[in-house]
Structure 1
Amino acid sequence: MDHQLHTAPAPAPVRLASGGPARAAWPLDDAVVHLNHGSFGAVPTEVVRYQDELRRQADLRPVAWFPRVHELVAAARHEVAPFVGARAEDAAFVPNASAAATVVFNSLRLAPGDEILVTDHGYGAITMGAQRLARRFGARVRAVTIPLAASADEVVERFRAELTDAVRLVVVDQITSPTARLLPTARITELAHEHGARVLIDGAHAPGLVADAAAVAGGDWWFGNLHKWPCAPRGSALLVTRAADRDDLWPLIDSWGAEEPYPARFDSQGTLDATSYIASPRAIEFVEREHGWDRARTTMAALADHGVAVIGAALQPYVDAPVATDVGMPVVSMRLLRLPDGLGRDRTDADELRMRLLDLAGVEAAFTSIGGVGYLRLSAHLYTEPRDFEVFVERAVPQIVAFAERRRIS
């Protein structure tokens, strides 16, 4: 990478429509550098307080709260579904993306010899769920290998080569978690349907980053997290489907709503804390009111690009390949930067690096491993400030270089 990229003008810190800096609207620890929004999200203070008030209501008058909570969940569902381009009657709240996948997997029946197609970019927990489904019926899972920099056409051709009459289910990411790239899921769906296969779209990262994410994804089922880019409280995600057999979908907990059709049966889950669902519309509305979602996507892209320039310039002398990594179909707010050789050789090694940098440098960052090569997966949201990348360089890059050197001589 050209070191002069570092000197490009930095975008200004985001200011909200209400007049204050975006950073001040999130209750994040100022002693820590926060560059990993994509993993667990971050909830604005306004939304935290709203959820706390909901919980307070439940604690003050539990008998008034719990018998009526399904009405509040249904109302929230009607508010949130249009954000992903869905109808409320097609959308159900679930605790997270993995729970949505489990709901779908539990509804399916396969036969010995049937196949499930996943990709080598898939989220590990979802792939494990697909493998468990296959084991129940004597089916098998095959992974479509996708080059990191593959174009949309190349990805479709990879699927075309792997789809056979034995494939019953395709599980594919709308935005890949380990590699931070888009996949052409609508085209993959069309191709899979031609072969008689159904498609489950993992849109965990898509809400907020892709406008009308569920509507444009294709698939027989789609799910996406609201606790990531929409900044809703953790434990809030949507499952969306218009499939004819959607009444085969059941919540992970049997409760008094069990005799209701989909999706109403998901609105009532006994004493489950549903405040994350009920508060989700407040988070979506917060970003729209204070910055606007279309503008937010542009802002996050500019911040992420600046982060690549700053951190990439600092890492490049220690990396033999270009640090800024071509992922073929990049997303708005996440970027991959290659690490020095020897780091992130596998998932365990990448996770260990994440925690060591948190403990030693006060940096929250995501690291991933692809084909034995380690990468920093950079995330940016509205609260991200250009100085965060500079502090990352000051605190984390020396540690990264030292770790790599110890690996080299060991």
Structure 2
Amino acid sequence: MSETEVAVAPHPLLLADGRPAAEAWSLDPALRHLNHGSFGAVPLVAQERQAELRAEMERAPVVWFPELPQRLAATRVELADFLRVDAGDLALVPNASAGASVVYNALTRRRGGEIVVTDHGYGAVTMGAERLARRWGGRVRTARVPLGADEDMAYEAVVAEMGAATDLVVVDQITSATARRLPVERIGAEARRRGVPMLVDGAHASGLLAAPLADAPYDFWTGNLHKWGCAPRGTAVLVAHGPLRDLLHPLIDSWGAQDPYPDRFDQQGTLDATSYLAAPTSLAFVEHTWGWTAARLYMDRLADHAAHVIGAAFERLTGESSRADVGMPVPGMRLVRLPDGLGRTRIDADALRDRVARELAVEAAFTSFDGIGYLRVSAHVYNTPADYEYFAEQCVPVLGAWALESRH
């Protein structure tokens, strides 16, 4: 990113009583929390609501569990309203990867057993696709999508891997490692034209996009609410359209196994479902405090500012460009290219994340794509411009030194 580009720092968000937004969370003030996208962060009101629900469960478990399916069904209506989908299409699952596993377990080989994925896919979901292909006696075909590919290029790269043997297409709506969109609507329309089921991994989409399932021309969509939606961890949804949804069953068979979709997902033995029940509290907290539209706008402007100040700091240090040419950028997330020698592989990037947390007291996301390491900015309402200015001033010089060390 060039230092001549200007990204105006937004005014930090405040609570209704004038306190900083971060005071609505229990995040450790001794750390800088700059990686909302990986595990999310749960506001105190939702933590308190979940604690109340757990206490209710423990006071009378024989009352709690028989009544739980009805309560979960009512919760699904609230979550479906937030996502702007039909509650009858929405099932509750622990995370997006679990939603993908439900789909993988349901489908059977109909053609040649080939599954199309992209090289931007989330590792666990891609591993699941590979396991399914082995079970089918087929194979995975990987569409190579350049980081800077625009909508047309990305669409063409994925469609080029489809053929007469394709039994499933799996594409991220927002990619985890590369913080970009993929044209899932266009790809889904083509897959439907060919009669091929499509699974969209929308792990990062709920809350970050206003209506991630608008006019969705695909069979399955799974997304986390514990990321941008700030719900308690272990809260995600699986949305299914069309006749294939009747094949979907929860990963654990329970007494609701013979119920129709999605009701059979509401009864899962003695699993703690309080995260689902507390999820609407998180969504309502953001809406009532700032409004989701304003929150998304703030996160996007803050991510712009973060990428500018951190990128400029790296450029001053190395004399090299830190720009990441992302073809279909998303709100609230940005990539900043790291100096050569840092984060070249996923394992290296994870090790860098752990070292930065341990030695610099900063929770940050580092990713890798095509042999290049990146800092992934993922801002939320509790972050402020000062968070990223601190990173630029205090952490960038250290990262530069580590990069030099790695090259010697």
- Where on the TM-score scale, by shorter chain, does this alignment land: which range? over 0.9
- 1:395 is matched by which residue type in structure 2? Q
Aligned to 2:402: 403
Q: Where do 1:7-406 residues align within 5 Å?
A: 9-17=8-16, 19-110=18-109, 113-319=112-318, 321-406=320-405
Contact kept, 8 Å, 2:110 with 2:167, in 1: the verdict is no
CA drift at 1:2: 3.2
Contact kept, 8 Å, 2:221 with 2:238, in 1: the verdict is yes
CA drift at 1:18: 5.1
Q: Distance in 2 between matches of 1:2 and 1:150?
A: 21
Contact kept, 8 Å, 1:27 with 1:45, in 2: the verdict is yes
CA drift at 1:214: 2.1
Contact kept, 8 Å, 1:172 with 1:202, in 2: the verdict is yes
- 1:290 is matched by which residue type in structure 2? T
- 1:228 is matched by which residue type in structure 2? K
Of stretches 65-74 and 98-107 in structure 1, the one that deviates more from structure 2 is 65-74
CA drift at 1:261: 0.6
Closer/same/farther in 2, CA of residues 272 and 152 from structure 1, 3 Å limit = same
CA drift at 1:321: 4.8
Deviations 1:47-80 (A, max 9, x none): 1111011011111111121111111111110100
SS at match of 1:374: strand
Contact kept, 8 Å, 1:66 with 1:271, in 2: the verdict is yes
SS at match of 1:213: coil
Q: Distance in 1 between matches of 2:251 and 2:17?
A: 41
CA drift at 1:101: 0.2
CA drift at 1:324: 2.8
- 2:148 is matched by which residue type in structure 1? A
Closer/same/farther in 2, CA of residues 125 and 320 from structure 1, 3 Å limit = farther
TM-score w.r.t. the length of structure 1 is 0.96
Contact kept, 8 Å, 1:111 with 1:137, in 2: the verdict is no
| Unpaired runs of at least 5, structure 1 | none
TM-score w.r.t. the length of structure 2 is 0.97
Of stretches 190-199 and 317-326 in structure 1, the one that deviates more from structure 2 is 317-326
Q: Distance in 2 between matches of 1:221 and 1:292?
A: 28
Contact kept, 8 Å, 2:112 with 2:166, in 1: the verdict is no
Q: Distance in 2 between matches of 1:193 and 1:58?
A: 44
CA drift at 1:143: 0.5
Q: Distance in 1 between matches of 2:268 and 2:113?
A: 34
Deviations 1:101-139 (A, max 9, x none): 000000011168321000000000000000000011101
Contact kept, 8 Å, 1:112 with 1:137, in 2: the verdict is no
Matched residue count: 408
Deviations 1:172-197 (A, max 9, x none): 00100110011110100111222221
- Report the aligned-residue RMSD: 1.5
Of stretches 261-270 and 310-319 in structure 1, the one that deviates more from structure 2 is 310-319
Aligned to 1:2: 2
Q: Distance in 2 between matches of 1:180 and 1:16?
A: 28
Q: Distance in 2 between matches of 1:262 and 1:308?
A: 43
Contact kept, 8 Å, 1:149 with 1:328, in 2: the verdict is yes
Contact kept, 8 Å, 2:112 with 2:164, in 1: the verdict is no
Contact kept, 8 Å, 2:231 with 2:283, in 1: the verdict is yes
- 1:135 is matched by which residue type in structure 2? R
Q: Distance in 2 between matches of 1:278 and 1:392?
A: 36
CA drift at 1:217: 4.0
Q: Distance in 2 between matches of 1:217 and 1:35?
A: 31
Contact kept, 8 Å, 2:31 with 2:363, in 1: the verdict is yes
SS at match of 2:327: coil
Q: Distance in 1 between matches of 2:234 and 2:219?
A: 23
Of stretches 176-185 and 386-395 in structure 1, the one that deviates more from structure 2 is 386-395
Q: Distance in 2 between matches of 1:11 and 1:160?
A: 40
Contact kept, 8 Å, 2:192 with 2:218, in 1: the verdict is no
Q: Distance in 2 between matches of 1:220 and 1:42?
A: 30
| Unpaired runs of at least 5, structure 2 | none
Contact kept, 8 Å, 1:11 with 1:303, in 2: the verdict is yes
- 2:93 is matched by which residue type in structure 1? V
Q: Distance in 1 between matches of 2:207 and 2:320?
A: 32
